[in-house]
Amino acid sequence: MNRLSVIIVGLALAALTAFYLSDEGTIDSELNQEYVYWAQIMTDNGIDISRSESLRVLNYAEMGADMAGRSNKFSNLIYVNALEKGNPMTVRAIVWHELGHYTFDLEHGECRLMDAERHTHEYYAENWRNLETEYISLLLQK
């Protein structure tokens, strides 16, 4: 690897590290309420959520309209697309989805809450109980 490549890789890693650590320890209060709700439901069903206790960042972030959220176990963070603020059922679905990846290593498609594609706000509102039940049933089988 030549010297220029090493410099470029170093700068890229520094920028990436700065991005992930810029929100270190920030938990949005609205998203925290969703986390607390999720944690209570999981605990009530006897599901171990200890992996989620290392979460340091749960916040909104600007991201493209094609992305609902993202999680990163290395940096202990979950971000929800800021475009979804004001859509409580969609935010709930995204938080549960990302916690599914983060806490349980769930993959896209394992249940409807883990779909790779985002559904409408109305879909989540109308189907929440079924989506929740399906998610919990999946976790109880693991």
pLDDT, tens only, 39-60? 999 999 999 999 998 899 999 9
Q: Which two tokens stand for residue 82?
A: 């800021």
Using CA atoms, how far apart are residues 31 and 25, in angstroms rounded to an integer?
A: 13
Q: What is the pLDDT of residue 38?
A: 97
Using CA atoms, how far apart are residues 89 and 95, in angstroms rounded to an integer?
A: 10
Amino acid code (one letter) for 92: R
Please state the φ and ψ torsions of residue 12, each to the nearest 5 degrees.
-65, -45
Q: What is the pLDDT of residue 80?
A: 96
Q: What structural domains and CATH numbers belong to the chain?
A: 24-141 (3.30.2010)
What does each of the 142 residues of the chain score in pLDDT, given as a tens digit? 566 544 554 444 444 444 444 445 688 999 999 999 999 999 999 999 999 988 999 999 999 888 999 999 888 999 999 999 999 999 999 999 999 999 999 999 999 999 999 899 999 999 999 999 999 999 999 8
pTM, whole model, 2 decimals? 0.82
Give the strands of the sheet with 57-61, arranged side by side.
57-61, 77-81, 69-72
